[in-house]
Chains A and B, each alone.
Chain A
Amino acid sequence: MKAKFVNSLLFSAIFLFFACGESTDVVESGTYQGTIQEVEPSKTEIYVETDENQTLELYFSDSTSLTRDGNNVEFSTLKEGMKVEVEVEKEGKRLNPLVVRVLE
């Protein structure tokens, strides 16, 4: 009985290990609105959850335009929970953010 309990616990833990990883989605080139889920300043990277519940992983490049109220702003402006509109270009399965607009 005890062994059965420990085994169930162990397999649940292993399942949780697999379930905990982030997964991201690949979308067609276009413009999407969503909320910033996570910001990684050291990699100038953001995760955006779109209104269609897809998670986009976006790495900024030198050509990525980041604006707020029409003005260019620094990457450090971005915070979790912000509403954004992103214009992405799909190359292979990589999403290049061309424009990121902060909506609030």
Chain B
Amino acid sequence: MEEIPDFWRTEVFHPLSVHFPIALLVVAFLFKVIALRYSRDLWERGGTVLLIAGVITVWIAIFTGDLADGIVSRKICDPTVLKDHENMAWTTAWLFTAGLGVDLLRQLKYPIFNNILFRIILILLLATGTGTLTYTGHLGATLVYQQAAGVYVPSGNCAEFE
């Protein structure tokens, strides 16, 4: 009889880690957008803190995704979707990392960086990053729900659960 595999499999660390950057980076972007209208430190500084946490966790998600890739690619029926997911994830990670770089330069308060131009660049980077993040998530969901990537599929009669 088939046995239920251990839950703590290498490929499971990716879905466990990936939702942190999704939440943090989207909310960081919203904070920075709100900071355009309301100049309270809460939005500006809060957005920066969220962005730092989001960028750290996005690179952790890239790492766990790379670990999962070596296992999942051998099982799914269309690895080209996984490749697109991977490429889009790298794009997202670099866009937000660049955004964080611009934001930190602004926070240094040197007049050359603390102007409207850098603010626009920051918002453009974060907006594009949020778009690619959304699409990356969509591709990830497609992999799970269409191809059962990383998912244990129980036997027809569920005998292993008895």
Which residues of A line the B interface, CB within 8 A? 2-3, 6, 10, 13-14, 17-18, 20-24, 26, 40, 42-45, 57, 59, 61, 91-94
Residue pair A94, B76 in contact (C-beta under 8 Å): yes
Residue pair A17, B95 in contact (C-beta under 8 Å): yes
Assess whether B80 is interfacial by the CB under 8 Å rule: yes
Residue pair B73, A59 in contact (C-beta under 8 Å): yes
A18/B117 contact (C-beta < 8 A), A24-B80, A43-B70 known: no
Bound: A94/B121 CA distance, A: 40
Residue pair B83, A22 in contact (C-beta under 8 Å): yes
Which B-chain residue is minimally distant from A45 (CB atoms)? B70
Assess whether B137 is interfacial by the CB under 8 Å rule: no
Chain B: interface residue total (CB-CB under 8 A): 25
Residue pair B94, A17 in contact (C-beta under 8 Å): yes
Residue numbers in A under 8 Å from B91 (CB-CB): 17-18, 20-21
Bound: A43/B66 CA distance, A: 9
Which residues in chain B, 80-135, are within 8 Å of chain A measured between CB atoms?
80, 83-84, 86-88, 90-91, 94-95, 98, 117, 120-121, 124-125, 128
Would you give 13 A-B contacts (Cβ < 8 Å), ordered by A? A6-B117, A10-B121, A10-B124, A14-B95, A17-B91, A17-B94, A20-B90, A21-B91, A22-B83, A23-B87, A40-B70, A92-B77, A93-B79
Residue pair A21, B90 in contact (C-beta under 8 Å): yes
Residue numbers in B under 8 Å from A10 (CB-CB): 121, 124-125
Report whether over half of chain B's contact residues are helix, strand or loop; otherwise say mixed: helix
Residue pair B74, A22 in contact (C-beta under 8 Å): no
A94/B124 contact (C-beta < 8 A), A17-B95, A22-B87, A43-B69 known: no
Assess whether B78 is interfacial by the CB under 8 Å rule: yes
Residue pair B78, A94 in contact (C-beta under 8 Å): yes
Residue numbers in A under 8 Å from B90 (CB-CB): 20-21
Residue pair A59, B74 in contact (C-beta under 8 Å): yes
Residue pair B95, A24 in contact (C-beta under 8 Å): no
Bound: A30/B95 CA distance, A: 40
The 9 closest A-B pairs by CB, nearest first: A21-B87, A92-B77, A43-B70, A93-B78, A17-B91, A59-B74, A59-B73, A94-B79, A24-B83
